[in-house]
Amino acid sequence: MIFTQEVKTRIQDALISKGANKPCSVCNSKDLVLVDELILSDKSSGGKFPTIVTGCGNCGKIETFAANTLVPGLLPNGKVGEY
């Protein structure tokens, strides 16, 4: 699922409101990049675990967030297929 601009804005607002927009923990760059696609882990017992991924635009360090925790209500019923 590629994020619409509306969804990207909701995610960026959540990152800010939850304090998850700090400078990179490796290189201290403030160049935070949001990967504009929902990433699914196929390792979870339920088969799908939607995650939101951000990366550092300088060194490439990647951070992952549980989509349903970072942005409650982003996915109806917490399920990707019903988005």
Interacting residues with Zn ion (CB under 5 A)? 24, 26-27, 29, 56, 58-59, 61
- Report residue 35 CA to chain centroid gap: 7
Q: Least separation, in Å, of the C-beta of 76 and Zn ion?
A: 34
Q: In the complex with Zn ion, which residue's Cβ is closer, 4 or 21?
A: 21
- Report residue 52 CA to chain centroid gap: 2
Q: Least separation, in Å, of the C-beta of 28 and Zn ion?
A: 7
Q: In the complex with Zn ion, which residue's Cβ is closer, 51 or 54?
A: 54
Q: In the complex with Zn ion, which residue's Cβ is closer, 58 or 64?
A: 58
First-to-last CA distance in the chain? Answer: 9
Cα separation, 22 vs 42, whole angstroms: 28
